[in-house]
Structure 1
């Protein structure tokens, strides 16, 4: 299973979407692995969410042909994983992580290798269990 696709499917339910009869749809009830980097939303998924929330205003005619690098605080910024560990929230992106503590709104940025020296790249999720063990998913 791919955590991104399972979470996206469940997020669809949280937004009000039901299961789809379209086998290509994210909201199809049976899981089929598709690489997240190659996953397009099906027309059924798009029309389903637009039937609830409406079409986007000023929708662009086409997607940009060249990807742009997101600014750290830009609206296009995305993270590889976000998790709460102990009393802090950790955002992972590429080789970096940002730590946010409950008593400080400023995020501290550092290299993942400084925090976890032997960690392989490509972390998709992290979880801390009741035994204070941190489980990382790639």
Structure 2
């Protein structure tokens, strides 16, 4: 027996399904060996669960949204805040930050949450004090 299919059958019972007379259905009372790649749910299994819980009106888009990063060049560029941090210069904009190290002219783009996980967006100013701490103002 295939443990996945046995568990799926029992999960069907937990969801409220009873046995089916369709030999190809997941909820058929006798197990048979089936290759998982060749095992679609039968129409009876689907209609049975939908009769209990309803059908899904619109299937979600399975493609994840393509992340976009802010543009780094242009005459209209503005930042929410700019500060130093241990000799780095940090530019903050929305959810992103750019870090410029003293020995590198290329800015590195990161999410603010990668450096400060609890810091939310909406920063209006930032200041590094003499104790190497950054104070953020919203």
Larger radius of gyration: 2
Normalised-by-shorter TM-score class: 0.3 to 0.5
Q: TM-score, normalised by structure 2?
A: 0.47
The TM-score with structure 1 as length reference comes to: 0.47
